[in-house]
Amino acid sequence: MRSMKIYLNQQEYELHIERKKRMKNMYLRLKGENLLSVTCSYRISNEAILHFVEEKASWIAKQQKKEKPLTMDQLTGAEGDVAIWLGKKYRVRYEEANNNFLFFDRDELVYFLKNKSKEVVDKTFYQFGKKQLELMILEQRKEWDQFICMMHGLPLPKIKVKYMTSQWGSCMPSKNPISISTRLIHYPRECLDYVLLHEYAHLLVPNHSEAFYQLVKSYMPKYKVYSNRLKEKPSSM
């Protein structure tokens, strides 16, 4: 892949050119605020690519005006210029460092990284997200430990935070552990509170019957607001 700078619409862009075999057409994508990507055949010259991009200047300007929801691949900032942390958008900045960690500087999320690969960015984001979720769970679980477990003579559950893509949380009532997805770090805190209550409620009602949701509603009357929120993209808030 080759990269170059191009000036359009009174703005400088970084242009990534990826050539592939057996391609008949050229494809242009806007992948960030100032990042363009062209995919084309090996036979297309740089001059032809630049001419193609310049002809698309008005299209690029229109696309930038549209605020599109971020994909899951972009939520950590690895594939975009913003990251979503507890329902809030933060602009992303990268700094070189000997160790990987995150730092919040007002409205910026600053990565200090050994290398800026997508894998390292994602791993660093979710490592720190896990720590944040564990602290919030430690505080929030006190309520459910008391009103769900202690009041019903149940042992307190072990809670594990891990990366899960197919569910926000899980519970095995017979064995008593609860798992919470690190992806909840993208959503407002109330969504974590709902998922935690949802899993605690399974310790009493191990299914999704009407009785189960009545139990959840008795502790959290507006639970549907947070349940529906988790069906949306984090950045659409």
Mean pLDDT of 172-198: 93
CATH 3.30.2010.10 location in the chain: 126-236
* Average pLDDT of span 77-98: 90
Q: Is pLDDT at 70 greater than 80 in this prediction?
A: no
pLDDT at 237 over 60: no
Whether the CB-CB separation of 198 and 216 falls below 8 Å is answered with: yes
The pair of structure tokens assigned to 38 is 């062209």
CA distance 88 to 187: 8
The whole-number pLDDT of residue 145 equals: 96
- Give the residue from 116, 93, 120, 122 showing the smallest Cα distance to 106: 93
Q: Are 77 and 94 in contact (CB under 8 A)?
A: no
- Is the pTM higher than 0.75? The answer reads no
**Lowest-confidence region among 57-61, 71-75, 191-195:** 71-75
The per-residue pLDDT for range 120-175, each reduced to its tens digit, is 999 999 999 999 999 999 999 999 999 999 999 999 999 999 999 889 999 988 88
Res. 216 pLDDT band, cuts 50 70 90: very high
Helix axes 46-55, 57-65, angle to 10 degrees: 50
Domain 126-236, CATH among 3.30.470.20, 3.30.2010.10, 3.30.465.10, 2.60.120.260: 3.30.2010.10
Q: What is the mean pLDDT of residues 2-17?
A: 85
Helix (H/G/I), strand (E/B), else coil: 16? strand
At 1 the pLDDT is 61
Burial class (CB in 10 A: 0-12, 13-18, 19+), 51: exposed
Lowest mean pLDDT among 56-65, 76-85, 192-201, 225-234: 56-65
